[in-house]
Structure 1
Amino acid sequence: MGVPPDLIAMYEAVAHPKFFLVVSGGNGAVMKTHGLIRKAIGSFINIDPTSFTLGTPPTAANGTSPALWLVADLQDYLAQAILDTRILCSSKITLFALPYDMPVIGFVGVFAGFTLPNTDDGANAARDLIRTAIAANGEISQFVQTHRDAFGPLVSAEQAWEAFLTSVEVRGIVLIVNDTNTVAWRLHVAPPTNDRTSWGQLRRLFGRLQVMTAQYGTARLQRAFRCRICPSIDHPTPLCPLPSLPGWLDATPTTIAALEDASRAAAAKAQEQMRFNAPVGAGSSNTRSGQGRNQGTSDSKPRRDGKGKKGGDYKGKGKRRERDDFF
């Protein structure tokens, strides 16, 4: 989930039971979102909404509300009830409960560049091409055979490598890139290690992998997506499957884009107001920045119509590059 190391250190100091919430929706203001989270949890388990601890992570640089919150000081059975339910949804906010000790998942990233069709035969061909390239990569082979704790102590290095190659799986996803439908391939493997740092190192090795073919073009791993509705990194927000579920009441790609733009606009307005109210001579570096009045900063400037660069969108909606910097 991209939690900064300093926050991890703080989270470790909190006693169990504790769990994370991925927050979608809210109204763009941290404290109001804080209240909505408390109300949703209090209503679900019928307790005083102020009777548990809710940690607030830092606001993102682009002005959006934080996505990952820590909940603590609940009784074990109440915390487990929320984790078992997994999704708490209202008309204003959606909460995804995740265990504090989240397991390493096998999603590596998205390969793009093949000219294969989004069919079973296309997926099988992409899998075989990627698997062959992995098998020929000495760095990945050595790393998997060295960091193989997830396979158990009785599995040899050679057996771990064979099991890893056998686990390679790809799933197609159709993206719109430069107004053209493009098929990309999501790569999944059996994680050879349960250590997050080692898993991150392995993913970076995959990021260097280039699969060249004479017939189907050249593909390489792209940066992972970051869906703003659910915790997933294997699809962009417009392709999130949750809003299509029966009874879904909250976040959609359109509402998420509107909330993010409202947050950026509010951040820009607040910063402009601070400059306007600053004493004469204070913050002189800002007056020489060349940004001028009513412009905000490059991080907080709102995008018109909730649109940014094209890529990873779906049916022309929510055109944003929602990426994680893994490679």
Structure 2
Amino acid sequence: MSKEIRKFCHGAAVAAMVGLTALSASAEVSLNVATVDAAGTLRNLAGNRLHTLLREQDAGVQVRHIEGPVLGNAAQVRDQVAEGSVDIIGTDIAWAAPYSNFLKATSFSFVFRDQEHLAGVLDSAMMAELIDEIAAEQGVRILGAAVLPSRAFFTKVTPQRAADFEGLKIRSPQLDNWLESYKAIGANPTPVNWNEVFLALQTGLVDGAHGLPVDVQPNNWHKAAPNVTDLEDMFGVHVWMINETRWSGMSSADQATLVAAIDEVDAWMTATAEAESLSTIASLLDQGGGVFITHNAAKREAVAALAGADKVVAFPEDEREAMRNKALAAGKALEGQATWWAPGVLDELQSVR
């Protein structure tokens, strides 16, 4: 196993507390937390839940949740955390990818077989070293990770084969791993800020977008791109990132309180997203008038029971496998290049059981 792979996973930042000098926990610690996403989205609700949980516990650590994109987009707020003007951001793990070439693999098409595969990697012993390295070099520490359901493509067209993604203009954040990921399946990635996606779909700037159904509903993508395609090509991961100086200035007791609250919120996020994903898709189909396309028979059956058999379409397994092989080949071609993961990383990830 390569050194870079061994660095990857971390256990909810508990290990990061070992060896820290305990500081006196006299005054209450007050932290600013930003989640950037619109009101009603899963991340927004998670920020509210973290605030409420700590307040109800009357803990020595309290948070003030700054809702919506008032401080900027995710990249801008992440940088504000690094410089210390914001204490914590709760966001997609993709925004931590610039801190580690290896983390880019968490947002690349078809790298992970399923949620269990991804969770197994995130929960392995490999993460703590990487987290400490990022904290030392970048001034930002990752606290906890919630593995979420698969993202889905929202499009005006109805993809039913791999070729249907060729040249499709898919909205992407301005991150090289996402850009290359969409190119890997033949699509044409088009950078658009998250809060501008609906307008981009409505005006035709993009043909589709990729996101968690529970986050799409309050952003109304389905009203401009009604067809929902779930190929389990990429899974959502939510992380919390805290300013390292702020973290190291907290007592070990306050660190433990914060981590415990984050772990509880992460468990809620995972359970909520999983429970609501298919019912949300059915609701999106009803509101937008589209169909649900997937290779997964169980998901087709579940959505058909909720929305009607005429609302589901099968994506052939062999077509999905063709997309998967194409994406993994593109990912392997990036190995060893500057700013990308080391040679052999994707094969080693695939070998994790």
Q: TM-score range by the shorter chain?
A: under 0.3
Please identify the structure whose Cα radius of gyration is greater.
1
Bigger relative contact order, structure 1 or 2 (CA pairs below 8 A, ≥6 apart): 2
Please, what TM-score do these two structures have when normalized by structure 1?
0.24
Please, what TM-score do these two structures have when normalized by structure 2?
0.23
